[in-house]
């Protein structure tokens, strides 16, 4: 089964910067998510006993390494499949329908486009992807 996570504000992740401890606990409990946190108060809550994971490092590189290792995550498996803003799964979209929405150069050099069903943001493969993969491999010490 796919592991799904919820991260609190102390990790510096932007998902729920203003969420209360009560709300994050309730959401995680009812949606079966694992709370990634550096907040020991969250971990001590009874409701979180089964689904809370303490991230022990300060730096995001070390945090990433810890979570990937402990949960046996393949970091490349679902890379670039979700919206950076909404975290919704991206959907394929016909090239012709993005003609007026992307820069001309992009339209003529790319064939595959994806869109977010929630915010309608468009995605295409660019040099950014290669940089992210390179950075991720470096952090996780992968070849």
Q: Kindly list the residues in this chain that would bind Zn ion in the complex (CB under 5 A).
A: 83, 85-86, 116, 118-119, 121
Q: Which is nearer to Zn ion, 81 or 118 (CB)?
A: 118
Nearest approach, Cβ of residue 88 and Zn ion (Å) = 5
Q: Which is nearer to Zn ion, 119 or 132 (CB)?
A: 119
Nearest approach, Cβ of residue 118 and Zn ion (Å) = 5
Q: Which is nearer to Zn ion, 45 or 121 (CB)?
A: 121
| 74 HSE (CA, 13 A, CB side) | 4
CA dist 33 and 15 (Å) reads: 14
Residue 82 DSSP SS3: strand
For 55, 80, 90, the CA distances from 84, given in Å and listed in that order, are 22, 9, 10
CA dist 75 and 79 (Å) reads: 7
Nearest approach, Cβ of residue 102 and Zn ion (Å) = 16
Q: Which is nearer to Zn ion, 83 or 93 (CB)?
A: 83
Nearest approach, Cβ of residue 98 and Zn ion (Å) = 15
| 11 HSE (CA, 13 A, CB side) | 26
């Amino acid at each position: 089964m796919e592991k799904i996570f919820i991260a609190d504000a102390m990790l510096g992740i932007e998902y729920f910067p203003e969420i209360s401890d009560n709300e994050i606990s309730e959401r995680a409990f009812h949606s079966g998510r694992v709370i990634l946190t550096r907040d020991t108060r969250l971990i001590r809550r009874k409701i979180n006993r089964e689904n809370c994971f303490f991230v022990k490092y300060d730096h995001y590189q070390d945090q990433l390494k810890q979570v990937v290792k402990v949960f046996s995550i393949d970091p490349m498996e679902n890379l670039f499949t979700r919206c950076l803003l909404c975290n919704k799964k991206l959907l394929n979209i016909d090239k012709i329908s993005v003609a007026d929405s992307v820069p001309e150069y992009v339209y003529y050099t790319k064939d595959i486009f994806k869109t977010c069903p929630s915010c309608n943001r468009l995605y295409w493969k660019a040099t950014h992807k290669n940089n992210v993969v390179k950075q991720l491999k470096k952090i996780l010490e992968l070849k």
